[in-house]
Each structure stands twice: as C-alpha cells, then as structure tokens.
Structure 1
Amino acid sequence: MKDRLGALKAVQSEEEHEDVAAAMEASQSQFMEEFFEQVEEIRGSIDLIASNVEEVKKKHSAILSNPVNDPKTKEELDELMAEIKKTANKVRGKLKLIENSIEHDESGGMTSADLRIRKTQQATLSRKFVEVMTDYNKTQTDYRERCKGRIQRQLDIAGKKVGDEDLEEMIESGNPGVFTQGIITDTQQAKQTLADIEARHNDIMRLESSIRELHDMFMDMAMLVESQGEMVDRIEYNVEHAKEFVDRAVADTKKAVQYQSKARRKKIFCLIVAIVLLALLIGGIILYFVMNFAVMPHGLPEVNEGHESSSSVSRNETNDVNSSRHQINKTLNKTPKN
C-alpha cells in the first residue's frame, strides 16, 4: 500500500512538473510574440521617420528655390520636424526598455536562444535608427550651409562684403540686426533682400535649436550602436558566410546529381553489355548443340552397314562349318564297317 501511494505521489509530482514546464513554455512563447510585435512597431516608426526626412528635404529645396518667403511651406516643415522629434523620442524610449530588459536577464544568468534573438533585434533596430537620424542630422546641416550661402549672396547683392568667419559669427550671435548695419533699404529690392536674409537667419536658428534638442538622444543611441557594433558585425559576417555555405552546398548538390546521373548511365551501359554478352554465349551454346545433333543421323548408316557386314561374315562362317561337318559325316558313312 505504501509503495502504491509513493508511486501515485511520484506520478502526481511528474505531472505537476510537466504542467509547470508547459506553462513556462507557453508564457515564454507569448512573451516572444509580444516582443516581435514591439519590434515591428519600432521598425514601422523608424520607417516613418525616414519617410518624413525625405519630405523635409523636399521642403528645404522648395524654400530655397522660392524667391519670396512662403509661410505655408515653413509651417509644413515645422510640423514635419516636430513629428520626427516626437517619433524619435518614442523609438528611443522603446529601444531603451528592450536594452534594460536584456541587461536584467543577462544579470540573472539567462543565456537562452530567445535572449540572443532579442539582443540581435535590438542591435539591428538601434543601428537602423541611428542611420536614419544621421541622415536627418546631415539634412539639417546641409540646409544650414545652403541658408548660409544664400545669406552670403544676398549680402553681396546688397553691397556688404562679409568673410566666412565673420558671417559665422553674425549667425551665431542670434541677432538679425547685425545683417542690416550699413545696408541702405530705400529700394524695394533692398527691402526684399533684407527680408530674405532675416528669413534664412531665422531658419538657421530653428535648425540649430532642433539639432541641439536631438543631440543628446543622437549621441546616446550612437554610443549604444558603437558598443554593439562588434556583435552586429559578427552577426552580419555569420549571415554572409551562411549564405556562401548554402550557395556552395547547392553547387555541390548539383554536381552530386550530375555525378549520380553519369554513374547511373554507366551502370545501365554495363548492364546492357553484360546482357548482350550473355545472349551471345547462350546463342553459341545452342548453336553448338544444334550442329552436333544435325550431324549424327548421317553417321548412323555407316554403323548399320558395318553391323550388317559382321552379320554376313558370321553367317558365312557358320555355313562353312556346317558344310565341313556334312562332308565328314558323308565320309564316315562310306567307310565299311568291320
């Protein structure tokens, strides 16, 4: 009874263990499902930033190509920049949460395949995010240089010669009044030139403010990607080599199929040759027996003739003996009896 009770407890304990393992597996599976949903959401946000950056480039070109100030285009540009900033902050926050979760699991000694997948995804998304933000930062810097060049040309038109270093100091001062000193604005053209200079200067000020706002976030993510660079490069290296191995395996498989096909053809050829040789051998044997049996009937008469000759000789000898015996008997009969 005790043994049966112990066995029942062991079975119950094993079932409980299996239930716990199944529950943990289901929980982990659900966690990874939610993680991949989050990854897709982050990837979508990064793609949205990239799309908005392209729109910003178009707005920059439209503003610089327009000889007059266009408030509507600038308003649309400001909205795009605000949207990029908002989305970038959301992406950064989500990537940081994933990073903290990974660090927490690593500190607990976890080394599962799921953890490696999460690290790879986080590193890939971080690199993509930094690439998009680098493009955005370059777009802003290029626009600043183009605005600066536009101010330089307008000052030249107004008759005010300013060197590159002096112009940079005037821009950094943040005071648009420095551009109007010494410029006569008694003509409409002069007033338009001055308005354009002030507009470009304001654009530069907004750009620098935007760049400063994103600088800390950009540097934080750039440092993260740099620290993960070795791991990402190793992943890319393994992926590239895996592709090479797959291609090589496909090529080897094709060669093996070709060799197998050639070997099969050789086997078929050898089999045909063997069948032909066997057929020739059997044909030769059959022909041999046919020829021998065809010759034997012609030899039989000779044998019979010999047999008949022997019989005739025997009969002649018998007759001679009988004749001799008959002569002896006749002689005996003629002799007188005493």
Structure 2
Amino acid sequence: MRDRLLELQQRVKEAELSKEENGHVEPSSQGEEVAIKQQAVIFEKEPIVESILNDVQRIQDEINELEEDIMKFSQQQKTLVSTMRRFSVIKKENNITRDIKIRAEHIHKRLEAMSKEVKQTGADNGLTSTVTRIQHTQHIMLFKQFQKAMSQYNGTLVGKQEKCKQFIIRQLEVAGKEVREEEVDEMMVQGKWEVFNENIINEVKITKSQLSEIEQRHKELMNLESQMRDLRELFLEIYMQVELQGDQVNNIEANVIHTQDYIQQSNEKFKLAVRYKKQHPCKVMCCCCFPCCK
C-alpha cells in the first residue's frame, strides 16, 4: 500500500482554491469549515509566544549589561592599591555602585512581574500548555542568570571590605599599634576611632599622611556597609526565590537530559528501520497477492 498523504494534501489545496474562485461553500463541507476556523484561532495565539520571547530577550539584554558592569567593577577592585585614592575616583565608584543597585532592583521587579504572568498564563491555558511551559522555563533561566550576577557583585563588595580592613590593620601595625580584626569591625559599626584608643595619635608615631589614608579607608568601609545594607533586602528576596525554584530548575535540567536521551534512542531506532527497509524491500508491500509475502 503506497503512501497517498501528499496526494490527499494536494486535493485539499485544489478544493480550497476552487471554493475561493466560485465564492461559495458547499453545504457538505460545513464541518470542515468549523475545523478551519478553529485552526485559525490557534494561529492567532502564536504572537503571544513571540511577545513572550521578545520580553525575555529584553530582560536578558539588561542582565547581560549588568553582568558586564559588575565584571568591570570587580576587575577595578582587584587593582586596589595601598595608597589613598582621589576623592573624584571614589565618587565615581559610588555612582557606579548606585547605578548597579538601581538597575538590579529594576530587573528584579521585571522578573517578579514575569512570575505573575506565568501564573496567569497557567490559569488561562493550563499548566501543561506549551505557552506556559515556555514562559515558565524562560523565567527560571533568567532568574538563575540574574542570581549569579548578583552573587558575584556581593562577593566583590565583601572582598573590597576585607581589603580595606586589612589595609587599616597594616597601617596601624607600621605605626606601632597592633589592632585585631574584631576592633576594626567594631570601629566600622560605631564609626568612632576611640575603639582603638582615645589618644591614638599621641600614643603612636603616626604621620598625617598615614592617618589620612586610614581615615579614607574607614570612609570606604562605611560606604560599603551602607551599600550592603541597601542590597540586603534584595539579596534576601533572591535567596528565598532560589530556594523555592531550586527543585524546578533541577527538574527542567533533568527533563532536558532525558529528552536528549529519548532523541538519541529515536535516532537509533530510525536508523534500524531504514536499514531493515533496505534489506527487506518486499515486506513494505502489504498486499497478500504477492508471492514474496507468503
């Protein structure tokens, strides 16, 4: 028995062209007309997926730009010198961190809005629908990328904070004053130099330039503490969402791996079928009148 699917499709196209030319629809084809209308509704929904993917692309572009700025900021902190930097440089750095914070909050709000859209799409089209699964998967991947970028930024701030503390400790040790790291932490929290000694300048031989550098590092520490306080709430929200979505991300990765396995198995079966077809050409014909089928 030969495959007549192509012939059937050709006949359908010819029938549709004939109907358009005659300008009327036969009564016997009312059922087919309903089916065609139903398919048209499905095609009208395709722009929804396109709109979702466009929104995903815009958010991903914003996250990529944020990642680039965080990477540049991290590279700048690796070249942190042990001398006092100019106030203009520090002010420029503060503007960068403020800009990163504003953009991170904006991206986080967009991801939250997208999460609500996923729930609404699931309620309208079903949790197992293609649109819902596409939107849900894209949201998880975007959030994972955003979480990775913010973790890197947080690590950079913590590293810079540690460098500033170590610089203060070294400068005081050079001046003849041994200071523990806990005392530096207390100084950073209280913002008072008296935690070391009320007469620290008179007690140790410290120059004005050394004191100026230490004070500058202290200001940087206080500024860093303020930045980390501003980001703490955002980090907590990200952490909570990571905990909630961790299992979902693992399930998606597992499904992707299983899908790849299924594709590999299907390819192998197709190869076997093609090989079997070439080796047994007579068995493709299903008519019992042929002697080769007996």
What is the TM-score when the length of structure 1 is the normalising length? Answer: 0.64
Aligned partner (choices 219, 241, 244) of residue 202 of structure 1: 219
* 8 Å Cα contact 1:171/1:201 also seen in 2: yes
- Give the 5 Å matches for 1:139-158: 139-158=156-175
Q: List per-residue Cα deviations over 1:91-149 (Å, max 9, x = no partner).
A: 11111111111222334562311001111111111111111101111111111111111
- Give the 5 Å matches for 1:260-275: none
Aligned partner (choices 168, 191, 195) of residue 208 of structure 2: 191
RMSD, matched Cα: 3.5
Aligned partner (choices 87, 104, 108) of residue 88 of structure 1: 104
Q: Quick one: distance in 1 between partners of 2:193 and 2:36?
A: 75
Q: Quick one: distance in 2 between partners of 1:97 and 1:203?
A: 35
Select the structure that is richer in helix.
1
Q: 1:126 maps to which residue?
A: 143
1:225 is matched by which residue type in structure 2?
V
Matched, 1:162 2:179: yes
Task: Give the SS at the match of 2:126.
Answer: coil
Deviation at 1:59, TM superposition (A): 2.3
* 8 Å Cα contact 2:118/2:135 also seen in 1: yes
Q: Quick one: distance in 1 between partners of 2:196 and 2:155?
A: 26
Task: Give the SS at the match of 2:176.
Answer: coil
Deviation at 1:221, TM superposition (A): 2.1
* 8 Å Cα contact 1:176/1:201 also seen in 2: no
Percent identity of the aligned residues?
Answer: 28
Q: How many residues align?
A: 253
Deviation at 1:35, TM superposition (A): 1.2
Change (3 A) 1:260 1:157: farther
Aligned partner (choices 49, 60, 66) of residue 43 of structure 1: 60
Q: 2:190 maps to which residue?
A: 173
2:108 is matched by which residue type in structure 1?
R
Matched, 1:70 2:86: yes
Deviation at 1:190, TM superposition (A): 1.4
> Which is greater in Rg?
1
Task: Give the SS at the match of 2:200.
Answer: coil
Gaps of 5+ in 1: 1-6, 265-338
Structure 1 runs of 4+ aligned residues shifted over 6 Å read 185-189, 251-261
Q: Quick one: distance in 1 between partners of 2:47 and 2:194?
A: 62
Change (3 A) 1:251 1:174: farther
Q: Quick one: distance in 1 between partners of 2:253 and 2:38?
A: 37
Task: Give the SS at the match of 1:128.
Answer: helix
Matched, 1:240 2:268: no
Q: 1:290 maps to which residue?
A: none
1:196 is matched by which residue type in structure 2?
E
Structure number with greater CO (CA < 8 Å, separation at least 6) is 2
Q: Quick one: distance in 2 between partners of 1:244 and 1:23?
A: 34
* 8 Å Cα contact 1:59/1:73 also seen in 2: no
After alignment, is 151-160 or 250-259 more displaced? 250-259
* 8 Å Cα contact 1:49/1:88 also seen in 2: yes
2:237 is matched by which residue type in structure 1?
D
Q: Quick one: distance in 2 between partners of 1:168 and 1:205?
A: 10
Gaps of 5+ in 2: 1-25, 281-294
* 8 Å Cα contact 2:121/2:131 also seen in 1: no
Matched, 1:79 2:79: no
2:50 is matched by which residue type in structure 1?
E
* 8 Å Cα contact 2:114/2:139 also seen in 1: yes
* 8 Å Cα contact 1:185/1:191 also seen in 2: no
* 8 Å Cα contact 2:111/2:143 also seen in 1: yes
* 8 Å Cα contact 2:125/2:132 also seen in 1: no
Matched, 1:97 2:113: yes
Q: 1:22 maps to which residue?
A: 40
Deviation at 1:156, TM superposition (A): 1.0
Task: Give the SS at the match of 1:65.
Answer: coil
* 8 Å Cα contact 2:187/2:195 also seen in 1: yes
Aligned partner (choices 231, 236, 257) of residue 219 of structure 1: 236
1:22 is matched by which residue type in structure 2?
A
